[in-house]
Amino acid sequence: MKKNWWKVLSVLILSYVILKGLLGVVPRQPILNESIRNVYFHVPLWFGMTTLLLTSAIYSIRYLRSNRIGDDIVAVEFANTGIMFGLLGCATGSLWANFTWGEPWPNDPKLNGAAVAMLMYIAYIILRGSFDDEQRRARISAVYNILAFAVFVPLIFILPRLTDSLHPGNGGNPAFGKYDLDSRMKMVLYPAFIGFTLLGVWITELRVRMRRLQATLDE
Amino acid sequence: MAESVRQWGALMRKEFLLEWRQRYALNGMLLYIVGAVFVCYLSFNARPGQLTPIVWNTLFWIILLFTAINAIAKSFVQERAGRQLYYYTLASPQQIILAKIGYNTALMLVLALLGFSVYAFVLGNPVHDIPLYLLTLILGAIGFAASLTLVAGIASKAENPATLMAVLSFPIILPLLLMLLKISKNALDGLDRSVSWDEMGTVLALDAITLTLSWLLFPFLWRS
């Protein structure tokens, strides 16, 4: 039980976020209206994805330094969970865009960057599939994983800021925090960042354990 | 320092010699880009000056992208594994990747300039600021070579290098391609050059990132 406190924390935070997110009081905004509640789900999913992909890249670096196959398994599972969070982020985002920007997929650099990032990580999974030898697969895909993360950062965080984007904080738009996030919303949003990230780590941990068991069974 | 520069020069020379001795591959690449330009020209069935500038520019860069992927994909499959092992006993992996990137940059420059002249010849040349457009071609050649050489090294180790090369490199090259499209569009419209400095800086930064990563990561790649 001592080691599992963070899972309890994740469940508690997420229940709080879902309850507060669906029932809590939110400020009235002209175009956003009630859809502003999506900020509790959409933004933390992207934040969680970035954290998971960063962790995946760190484990790939660790693999290249140590050559332990365990690090590679952790790296690929973090990437898998990151992809899942990314797809969920796309889904919540296009739902939101449909109501506020008028179409589910507006031609926006941040959306397209996210889609390309997903392509990159799916290519990573495909690359892994084309090797038979375990060590070879681990080393070469670790190299690609690090390269992918190095491209992911400018794609999501730098390029949208240079061009016009509909997202807040990009292309001269003020960031959310500047004007319409009041302190009550922050009380829900900041825990949501932690809660969703913990959930991602939990999913990853389960999958890593499953892989380890399968590896032991195969031997 | 001087010693490693000398080794790098020797490795570059080896790449050029190898290409010159197997001229069919080089001629194939030259014919590839000319053929691709002609296919586009005949498919649009357009007289010079009929394409809008955006279509003209985008089509050219797409042709260049496919040529680059095909040209650079062969940089690791041309030589047998035994011979590559021999090179690794002679020089450090960093020097080998830098020599390959240097050679691929030169190859891309030749292909891009040839492609540009044929393309402008058959489809008309609406570019207003030709020096800036040529500078974009040079920046593009460096960027394509830097990022695609490492990806070619990754793909060459896998089972079906040709498909993987395309799948792995499309998303990686995209930020660079978008920036290049923007600068070349500015050059095409003859906008003031100060408009393009920001994008130019971003392209240089992206080139620097990919070069550094190739330098850092290639030593782990060649061992397998």
- Which percentage of chain A shows pLDDT scores above 90? 28
B157/A140 Cβ within 8 A: yes
| Per-residue pLDDT at A35 exceeds 90 | no
For chain B, what are the domain ranges?
2-222
The model carries a pTM of: 0.85
* Cβ contacts of A140 on chain B, cutoff 8 Å: 154, 157-158, 221, 224
3 state DSSP class of B46: coil
pLDDT band at A164 (very low <50, low <70, confident <90, very high): low
Residues contacting residue B98 through CB under 8 Å, at least 6 positions apart: B8, B214, B215
How many CB atoms are closer than 10 A to CB B36? 20
The token pair that represents A89 in the structure block: 């982020």
* Tens-place pLDDT, residues A36-66: 777 888 888 888 999 999 999 999 999 999 8
B5-30 average pLDDT score = 84
Query: What would the DSSP string read from start to end of A14-47?
Result: HHHHHHHHHHS-----TTTGGGGGGHHHHHHHHH
B213/A150 Cβ within 8 A: yes
- Comparing CA positions, the residue from B55, B62, B64 lying closest to residue B33 is B64
A139/B220 Cβ within 8 A: yes
Q: What angle do CA B94, B104, B31 make, to 5 degrees?
A: 155
Beta strands in chain B (DSSP E): none
ipTM: 0.83
Give the gap in angstroms from C-alpha A83 to the nearest C-alpha of chain B.
15
- The span from the CA of B139 to the CA of B159, in Å, is 32
* Tens-place pLDDT, residues B121-135: 888 888 888 888 999
- The span from the CA of A139 to the CA of A119, in Å, is 21
Beta strands in chain A (DSSP E): none
For chain A, what are the domain ranges?
38-218
Q: Answer whether B65's CB lies under 8 Å from B148's CB.
A: no
Q: How far is CA A21 from the centre of its chain?
A: 19
What was the pLDDT predicted at B87? 77
**Pairwise pLDDT comparison (A162 vs B22), residue with the higher score:** B22
* Tens-place pLDDT, residues B118-171: 998 888 888 888 888 999 999 899 889 988 999 998 888 887 788 888 888 988
Query: What would the DSSP string read from start to end of chain A?
Result: -GGGHHHHHHHHHHHHHHHHHHHS-----TTTGGGGGGHHHHHHHHHHHHHHHHHHHHHHHHHHHH--HHHHHHHHHHHHHHHHHHHHHHHHHHHHHHHHTSSSS---HHHHHHHHHHHHHHHHHHHHHT--SHHHHHHHHHHHHHHHHHHHHIIIIIHHHHS--SSTTSTTPPPHHHHT--HHHHHHHHHHHHHHHHHHHHHHHHHHHHHHHHHHHH-
Probe site for chain A from B144, B199, B217, B218 (most A CB atoms < 10 A): B217
* Tens-place pLDDT, residues B174-192: 888 988 998 888 888 888 8
A159/B175 Cβ within 8 A: yes
Buried/exposed B68-78: b ≥16 CB within 10 Å, e otherwise: bbbbbbbbbee
Residues contacting residue A203 through CB under 8 Å, at least 6 positions apart: A81, A84
| Per-residue pLDDT at A2 exceeds 80 | no
Quickly tell me which residue has 């880009």 as its tokens.
Answer: B33
| Per-residue pLDDT at A201 exceeds 70 | yes
Probe site for chain B from A140, A143, A163 (most B CB atoms < 10 A): A143
**Pairwise pLDDT comparison (A195 vs B223), residue with the higher score:** A195
A162/B199 Cβ within 8 A: yes
